[in-house]
Amino acid sequence: MLTKLLNNGKIKSNEEAFEWINFLENQITDWIQEIKILSPWTKNNSIPEKFRGLKIFQKIPSLKEVARMNIEFHEELASFHNNDKTNEEQQWLYNLELSINEASTLAKERISIIHDLAAQCSDFSNMEYNFL
């Protein structure tokens, strides 16, 4: 839809509208990329039947939950390592574990950044009256 707007002659002639639509398109692309990074199970729609019951597929996690995912799902995923699996299932499970670890690390980094920004906001909100 945004591509149609960007290619619309009327919008192109309005530089400000064209610029804002471009910004919006970039923002949406960034959001989609972030969702893909922080929810590794969405990268591959072909979940082997054996793994469809994993808790990770039951709900959309918060950022805090993604940060703890590598710990919370370790035991559940480890139980599948002992079962008989095809090479494809084994590779899929390995890739899922890598993706979970990556997402968990990124979520922890994001939470740290959020805490730093919150601390900065708090510092900025403290009024100094010594100059009076």
Question: pLDDT tens across 46-105, in order?
Answer: 788 888 888 888 888 899 999 999 888 888 888 777 777 788 888 888 888 888 899 999
Q: Is the model's pLDDT at 112 over the cut of 80?
A: yes
Please tell me the pTM assigned to this model: 0.70
Long-range contacts of residues 84-92, Cβ cutoff 8 Å, at least 24 apart: 85/50, 88/48, 89/48, 89/50, 89/51, 92/44, 92/46, 92/47, 92/48, 92/51
Are residues 87 and 126 located together in one domain of the fold?
Answer: yes
Residues 6+ apart with CB under 8 A from 85: 50, 93
Total tally of structural domains belonging to the chain: 2
Q: What is the pLDDT of residues 9-61, one digit of tens each?
A: 566 667 787 788 888 889 999 988 888 888 877 766 678 888 888 888 888 88
Are residues 19 and 60 located together in one domain of the fold?
Answer: no
Which structural domain range is residue 33 located in? Answer: 1-38
Residues 6+ apart with CB under 8 A from 5: 11, 21
Residues 6+ apart with CB under 8 A from 7: none
Are residues 79 and 121 located together in one domain of the fold?
Answer: yes
Which residue from 104, 49, 106 is spatially nearest to 74, judged by alpha carbons? 104
Are residues 50 and 82 located together in one domain of the fold?
Answer: yes
